[in-house]
Amino acid sequence: MTGIEELLRPELRGRSPYGAPQLDVEVQLNTNESSYPVPDEVVAAVLAELERDLGGLNRYPDREFAELRSALGTYLAKQSGIHPREESIWAGNGSNEVLQHLVLAFGGSGRTALGFTPAYSMHPILTETLGMRWVDGQRDATTFDLAVDSAVTQAKGVDPHLVFLCSPNNPTGSALPFDVIEAMLVAAPRALVVVDEAYAEFARPGTRSALELVADHPRLVVTRTMSKAFTLAGGRLGYLVADPAVVDALRLVRLPYHLSTPTQTIARVALEHADALLGTVEAIKTQRDRLVGELSAMGLAPVPSDANFVLFGGLADAASTFQGLLDRGVLVRDVGIPHHLRVTAGTPEETSRFLTAMAELVPTHAARKETP
- pLDDT, tens digit, for every residue of 9-50? 988 988 888 878 889 999 999 999 999 999 999 999 999 999
pTM for this prediction: 0.95
337 part of a folded domain: yes
Q: Residues 183, 88: one domain? A: yes
Rounded Cα gap, residues 2 and 272, in angstroms? 54
Beta strands in 103-255 (DSSP E): 112-117, 133-138, 162-166, 192-196, 220-225, 238-241
Mark which of 272, 298, 333 sits at the end of a domain. Answer: 272
The domain boundary, picked from 272, 289, 323, lies at 272
Same domain, 93 and 67: yes
Per-residue model confidence (pLDDT) at position 370 = 58
30 and 64 both lie in a single domain: no
Say whether both 259 and 131 belong to one domain.
yes
Are 142 and 228 within one domain?
yes
Q: For residues 104 and 115, what is the distance between their CA atoms, to the nearest angstrom?
A: 17
173 with 238, same domain: the answer is: yes
Domain count for the chain? 2
73 has a pLDDT exceeding 60 = yes
pLDDT at 3: 86
Cα 17 from chain centroid (whole Å) = 17
* Same domain? 55 vs 186: yes
Pair type for strands 162-166 and 192-196 = parallel
Q: Is residue 7 part of a domain?
A: no
CB 124 within 8 A of CB 136: yes
Q: What are phi and psi of 304, to 5 degrees?
A: -55, 135
State yes or no: cis peptide before 348, omega within 30 of 0.
no
Write the CB contacts of 314 (distance below 8 Å, at least 6 apart in sequence): 299, 300, 301, 339, 366, 367
Backbone angles phi, psi at 353, to 5 degrees: -60, -45
Question: b or e along 336-349 (b: 16 or more beta carbons within 10 Å of the residue's beta carbon)?
Answer: ebebbbbbbbbbee
Is there a domain that residue 175 lies in?
yes
Domain at 318, CATH number: 3.90.1150.10
Q: What's the CA gap between 55 and 182, in Å, rounded?
A: 49
Containing domain of residue 345, as a range? Answer: 15-38+279-365
Per-residue pLDDT, 51? 95
**CATH code, domain carrying 203:** 3.40.640.10
| Residues 81 and 224 reside in one and the same domain | yes
In a shared domain, residues 233 and 101: yes
84-105 confidence digits (pLDDT tens)? 999 999 999 999 999 999 999 9
Residue ending a domain, among 247, 272, 297, is 272
